[in-house]
């Protein structure tokens, strides 16, 4: 079975917002984009809007999300497909860490200076987005 995930590349100029995972079963101590799993019966755009609001408190209209990359990841617990949506948040209120029990750090990083400790598939997706690539595979 393949699970569907959504990820948000929340940009402020040339910086991207990343969260560092803590108390996680996967990727503990690594930075990631905002996002999560699409619930059964849920539309992807609704899921990304929900995840951004839940994790960083930004209430962004679905129409503001632009699909910029898709990746297919083979992992130890199964395969997943992630839809990566880009949004310019420079004119919005500052994001806040709404889930400190899940994320122990949240900050903007320059796109050309991503942290070393980032989920490899997320690094690959961000690099693909910068190159204009709409699809990538990871872990195959």
Render pLDDT for 24-64 as a digit per residue (tens, 0 to 9).
Answer: 888 999 999 999 999 999 999 999 999 999 999 999 999 99
- List of the chain residues with pLDDT < 50: none
Q: Which residues contact 61 (CB under 8 A, 6 or more apart)?
A: 49
Query: How far, in Å, CA of 138 to CA of 57, rounded?
Result: 30
- Our separate counts of H helices and E strands in the chain read 2, 8
Q: What is the pLDDT of residue 104?
A: 98
Q: What is the pLDDT of residue 79?
A: 94
Q: Which CATH number is 102's domain given? A: 3.90.79.10
Q: What is the pLDDT of residue 78?
A: 84
Q: What is the pLDDT of residue 98?
A: 98
Q: Report the predicted TM-score, pTM, of the whole model to 2 decimal places.
A: 0.95
Domain span at 37 = 2-138
Q: What is the pLDDT of residue 121?
A: 94
Q: What is the mean pLDDT of the chain?
A: 96
Residue in this structure with the two tokens 């860490």, named with its chain if needed:
97
Query: How far, in Å, CA of 70 to CA of 48, rounded?
Result: 14
Q: How many domains does the chain have?
A: 1
Contact 17, 110 (CB under 8 A): no
Length, in residues, of the chain: 140
Alpha helices in 3-132 (DSSP H): 44-56, 120-131
């Amino acid at each position: 079975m393949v699970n569907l995930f959504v990820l948000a590349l929340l940009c402020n100029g040339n910086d991207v917002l990343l969260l560092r995972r803590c108390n996680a079963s996967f990727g503990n101590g690594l930075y990631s984009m905002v996002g999560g799993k699409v619930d059964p019966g849920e539309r992807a755009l609704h899921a990304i809007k929900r995840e951004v609001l839940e994790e960083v408190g930004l209430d962004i209209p679905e129409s503001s999300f632009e699909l910029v990359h898709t990746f297919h990841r083979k992992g130890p617990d199964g395969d997943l497909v992630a839809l990566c949506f880009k949004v310019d948040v420079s004119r919005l209120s500052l994001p806040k860490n709404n889930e400190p029990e899940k994320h122990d750090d949240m900050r903007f990083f320059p796109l050309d200076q991503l942290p070393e400790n980032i989920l490899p598939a997320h690094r690959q997706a961000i690099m693909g987005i910068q190159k204009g690539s709409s699809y990538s595979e990871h872990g195959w």
